[in-house]
Chains A and B, each alone.
Chain A
């Protein structure tokens, strides 16, 4: 075992059979990062007023002409087109998949979205529908959206989604445990889900609307990244507030610090509440100015959204033709 095995977490976790297994997983999760697991209570503090002011400053950028058109295409290509409803059916999911592959065929040169995001039970049909298009299938898992289920069930949920063909898994953290200060539990759970994901990329949803402060958002981000997240994600979309620019900024800065410490890139996915092109472009500005070129691709940045796509399409058509068309010209799926 590498030197990382002597991480302080050993002292904090009781030595039982289960934690031995957990420890091994932890070590695997961080083995590539050449980093000791830090004391998460020492995560950097965030000044709320300052973070909000900085976030507001990105919205002052004026995005016009070709940078607007290119930005809109980039946004469309970063969308995880999402349906997460109790009433989801195969029919609904198939239609959404078609929209993902053909957002607006009336105008040539429009990219596809990045992925379709569904519940585990819909993964198989979605996977089959988008076959060969390059579009990824993301599945929420781990007793989404509350995460209030035993760990074993969350792992089975994850494995089921992956076996059905999910390329990406969007898990939720145990916010209750996090608020109770049981960071090791949260960490171990993420590490185990990561293990269950196999080759699928893991997005870790912090549900920032339930965390209360930016300090806690930063701490949860650090836990998730160290435990093996490939992406960190703001929200389930089921809790208000969902994604905001300041909260996304705090997470992007956590990603930047993690990158400088470990050399490992982590993706970012704000989700929920981003339904207008202008706001999405502001997010893009933020990614450009906080993380730069390498993150300006759907490999490292996603929007979790359902209604954003049509607004982006409307704006793209407007940029190309100079005319705003009514929403009736854009398919609702």
Chain B
């Protein structure tokens, strides 16, 4: 019996004789074409660039499909289609008619939920549990929510005439491909804009499936155009003179490039960029639930989350206990095939991202932090990383300052409220934060003083279409979701 051993060597054994048999979700729900063209003006057109590139399954490095690589001429074609649809159809359409299309897209996402979930996991590496229970339903909800706003803008902004901006160029990241497409497209078209959207080059497939849904929904041609490509395609969208608005979610570095590129133009922008969220556990917190929140905060979606709680601040009096609980919890996380229903942590999105994560892990070791990773086996093929945490981390360590965008947690300790607020705010980022305490007044004190766009109290990584999301400082500006999410796509004019 394990209890015979001394206190300091006690360890629970999570590698149990009773284990879970593989429970893979069937791939048959997903139909993926061999090749995808560009979705422009309601049709699939081959790229003028004549170029295509592969998209692979990061879980086994096998090719899934190839997609068009849109050049500047293709972007121009897409923007022209969007402009044409805006001027001739969309801005003239009564808002309640616009709403019906948005609503229809939401319904069709629900109808094809299973297929979308499987493709999302195949193309991006995220566990099917998350794409099935989070990404796809939340994407549908976003369309439902903004469908409701379309004909109620005069109530959202009383005494103002809310008019659309025109053509929105939208560039989205690879961590939540379908969901980010929904975050971008739904408010834009509900408010009467038309869209040119580019998904990330490693995860284009669900956006292309969404294009199929949009085509089937009967949305007027050109209202939504979806084109694929890498950075050069994105740059062509940003620099196109006939685009009125840029909405970008991605890295802070690219966000800065976009800011420079649109300086001196009248293009509006919203940027949702990186983060290094502080998750703060006070000694009076419900520790087991806090630990669970920390686990969700950093290991959700392999840590590929801009608002991931990657800096954990624990009050010193409970630090030992919290770290022990974290280590135990990590042991029960299952890393493996994204399509297996029991997988908690899937594949890292790409080889290059895996390299970045490995780089930071070795930096952390060199900086003298203590590393702990789960003992779980990793699949032989594909890009995988064990859930990892570093203790004995200092504020000056790079792993505590820079966004790793992977399943790596930096654990720091603190003594007083003022100290932790100062440390939490001591970051160029300010996207999100978390506070864990049993004391209500402390929550309000903390949330008021924290420089972060979203602060979660006794929970983490909760998303809802009704709630605005966005950053402070180098985490970007502008809000998505909620009533606030309408504003970046509207100009508010005085009635005269």
Contacts and interface: CB of A to CB of B under 8 A. Distances in A.
Given A292-B14, A293-B13, A64 B289 contact: no
Given A45-B284, A45-B438, A62-B341, A50 B293 contact: yes
Nearest to B436: A47
Contacts of A68: 21
B263 interface: no
Interface stretch (B3-11, B65-73, B376-384, B408-416): B3-11
A110 interface: no
Chain B interface, DSSP helix/strand/loop, else mixed = loop
A74 B16 CA distance: 13
Contacts of A263: 3-7, 10
B287 A44 contact: yes
Contact of A44 (B21, B286, B342): B286
Q: Which of A53, A66, A68, A261 has the most CB of B within 10 A?
A: A53
A70 B19 CA distance: 9
A312 to B, nearest CB: 15
A289 interface: yes
Interface string B304-347: 00000000000000000000100010001000000001100000
A284 interface: yes
A259 B325 CA distance: 13
A67 interface: yes
B129 interface: yes
Contact of B2 (A51, A54, A67, A265): A265
A36 to B, nearest CB: 14
A65 B6 CA distance: 39
Contacts of B12: 256, 259, 291-294
Interface string B17-38: 1111111000000000000000
B15 interface: yes
Contacts of A53: 292
A159 to B, nearest CB: 28
A280 to B, nearest CB: 13
Contact of A54 (B10, B287, B289): B289
Q: Which of B5, B289, B290 has the most CB of A within 10 A?
A: B289
B458 interface: yes
Interface residues of A, number: 39
A14 to B, nearest CB: 31
Contacts of B15: 293
B2 A294 contact: yes
A289 B332 contact: yes
Nearest to B129: A60
B459 interface: yes
A297 B312 CA distance: 36
Contacts of B459: 49-50
A210 interface: no
Contact of B289 (A47, A256, A261, A294): A47
A93 B20 CA distance: 37
Nearest to A264: B3
Nearest to B12: A292
A292 B5 CA distance: 16
A259 B10 contact: yes
B283 to A, nearest CB: 11
A209 interface: no
A253 B288 contact: yes
A61 interface: yes
B10 to A, nearest CB: 6
Nearest to A66: B21
A4 B13 CA distance: 30
Given A46-B286, A47-B458, A260-B324, A265 B293 contact: no
Given A265-B2, A265-B3, A292-B12, A47 B286 contact: yes
A288 interface: yes
Interface residues of B, number: 39
Contacts of B286: 44-47, 50
A238 to B, nearest CB: 29
Nearest to A68: B21
A284 B2 contact: no
A71 interface: yes
Nearest to A295: B12
Given A46-B288, A260-B10, A67 B18 contact: yes
Contacts of B23: 62-64
Contacts of B324: 260
A162 B133 CA distance: 51
A50 B288 CA distance: 9
A296 interface: yes
Interface string A52-95: 01100000111111111011001000000000000000000000
B407 to A, nearest CB: 17
A288 B13 contact: no
Contacts of B10: 259-260, 263
Nearest to B4: A263
A46 B21 CA distance: 32
A294 B458 CA distance: 31
Q: Which of B21, B133, B328 has the most CB of A within 10 A?
A: B21
B398 to A, nearest CB: 31
Contacts of A294: 1-2, 12-13
Nearest to B5: A263
B11 to A, nearest CB: 9
A74 B289 contact: no
Nearest to B285: A45
Nearest to B332: A289
A44 B16 contact: no
B20 A61 contact: yes
Given A44-B286, A60-B129, A65 B21 contact: yes
A112 B143 CA distance: 54
A67 B1 contact: no
Given A45-B438, A62-B342, A70 B289 contact: no
A289 B289 contact: no
B26 to A, nearest CB: 13
A34 to B, nearest CB: 8
Contacts of B458: 47, 49-50
Nearest to B341: A62
Q: Which of B12, B284, B290 has the most CB of A within 10 A?
A: B12
Nearest to A46: B286
A296 to B, nearest CB: 6
B287 to A, nearest CB: 6
A50 B457 CA distance: 11
Interface in B445-474: 458-459
A288 B16 contact: yes
A51 B288 contact: yes
Nearest to A61: B342
Interface in A289-311: 289, 291-294, 296
Interface of A: 34, 44-47, 49-51, 53-54, 60-68, 70-71, 74, 253, 256, 259-265, 284, 288-289, 291-294, 296
Given A45-B285, A263-B10, 12 more contacts: A49-B289, A54-B288, A54-B289, A60-B129, A62-B341, A63-B21, A74-B18, A264-B3, A292-B14, A293-B17, A294-B12, A296-B18
13 contacts: A34-B7, A49-B458, A51-B288, A60-B129, A62-B341, A64-B22, A67-B21, A256-B12, A261-B7, A263-B10, A293-B14, A296-B16, A296-B17
Closest 3 CB pairs of A and B: A50-B289, A62-B23, A47-B286
